[in-house]
Amino acid sequence: MTLREYCAEDAPLSDVYLNDIGLNQSLIEDILTGDYQTVRGMVNSTINASVKEIAATIGGHFRGEIKTHSAIEQGVIGVPSGTNTVITGSGFRGVKLSLHNSNSYIAFALSGVSLHLNYTGNVNVLVYDLNTNELLDTIAVDALPGQTVKVFPNKKYTSYYNRLNLWIGYDSDGINSFETLSRSSVCCGNYGRKTEYLQATPMAVTGAFIDANLTALTTTSGIGIDYSIWCDLEAWLCTYSRMLAMPIAHKTAAEIFRRGLMVSPTTRTNNSTTVNSDLLKMNYDYHMASYLDGIKAAIEAIHLPTNNACFVCHSRVTNRIILP
């Protein structure tokens, strides 16, 4: 969501422009306050705040049906084997993580990354999306020989109702590691770990970071991964983004006009124009009423998924929608 005055690359996926409901850059310039350097900065900040408030409103309405406050799974992948076996480094080594998410909205949280190496120095742990060959994150770890060194990146990766397919590892050329296993005990040629939601397999990569270039390993090559899996309200709401576009637009406009009424008179950067407070108030009232009508209709049209990983299934009941 944006203003038409901005570049074509900012075109909104929802096809809704703030101009469609009466806002434009010139109007906002007249009430721009000193805590924003540009109109774009003020608009983007207000949109983000509106989205968060609407998400909280919808989440609050369905709070009895949505599990959002606790992890549905957590664990560690990559533990020392206890043998002190040294693994000679060669190429990119790490762990493939597949999040099976075909029937729910869940996210993978990477809370900790550890390295147990026979090496001294900085090692960059890479997080790749195997579906797209995209480098998502680089996590620096200062390795010490014979010690497990852990950092806490606190990253979240969302699958948006699809299979999340990650590779987490490092370039092991010249870096030896101590043997670490995907779980505390392995046998029978199965060196991976499988849970209700996750499949973790030690893998080497040769070439592009895609499934076709992976080779199975017997060890995680010194990498330990602390993870948790959470229900993801944001991913679920994204499926209703087009339906929520107009409520978001009206909420954004209402907040901009409210700011013009309550904040702008004392902190405006543009004092060469006269602001009509009565007109600001009329615009605020109109957009706030349109927002309340729009969000009420949207909530009535939202249907909860039928799976029970993140949503509690209740008998159909009549809900009262209470908005501020």
Same domain, 112 and 40: no
Residue 297 maps to a domain: yes
Number of folded domains that form the chain:
2
Q: Is residue 77 part of a domain?
A: yes
In a 13 Å sphere around the CA of 235, the CA atoms on its Cβ side amount to: 22
Residue 62's pLDDT is what? 80
- The reply to whether 75 falls in a domain is yes
Residue 2 belongs to a domain: no
For residue 174, the tally of other CB atoms under 10 A from its CB is 10
Out of 232, 254, 271, pick the residue that ends a domain.
Answer: 232
- Give the highest mean pLDDT range of 23-32, 52-61, 191-200, 273-282: 52-61
Residues in the chain: 324
**pTM attached to this predicted model:** 0.71
- In a domain, residue 137? The reply is yes
**Distance of alpha carbon 16 from alpha carbon 245, whole angstroms:** 7
Q: Please, is 62 exposed, middle or buried when counting C-beta atoms within 10 Å of its C-beta (0-12, 13-18, 19+)?
A: middle
Residue 278 and residue 199 share a domain: no
98 and 146 within one domain: yes
Pair (135, 222) in one structural domain: yes
Predicted confidence (pLDDT) per residue in 201-214, tens digit? 999 999 999 999 99
Question: What is the pLDDT, as a whole number, of residue 292?
Answer: 95
* 88-143 pLDDT per residue, tens: 999 999 999 998 765 667 888 999 999 999 999 999 999 999 999 999 999 999 99
Bridge partners (DSSP) listed for residue 167: 96, 128
Q: Are 79 and 223 within 8 A, CB to CB?
A: no
Domain's final residue, options 178, 202, 232? 232
CA distance 211 to 318: 47
Q: Are residues 220 and 252 in the same domain?
A: no
CATH at 185: 2.60.120
- Whether residue 211 is contained in a domain is answered as yes
Average pLDDT over residues 218-233: 90
CA atoms of 118 and 86, how far apart (whole Å): 8
- Taking a C-beta distance cutoff of 8 angstroms, is the pair 218, 20 a contact? no
Residues 185 and 254 reside in one and the same domain: no
pLDDT tens, residue by residue, 143-196:
999 999 999 999 999 876 567 899 999 999 999 999 988 876 655 445 678 888
Expressed as residue numbers, the domain containing 108 is: 71-232
Q: Which residue has the higher pLDDT, 59 or 219?
A: 219
Q: Indicate if 125 and 265 belong to the same structural domain.
A: no
Task: Taking residues 272-284, report their average pLDDT.
Answer: 74
Instruction: Among 8-12, 49-53, 169-173, 266-270, name the one with the lowest average pLDDT.
Output: 266-270
> Are residues 181 and 265 part of one domain?
no
Residues 79 and 185 in one domain: yes
Q: Which of 182, 197, 232 is the last residue of a domain?
A: 232
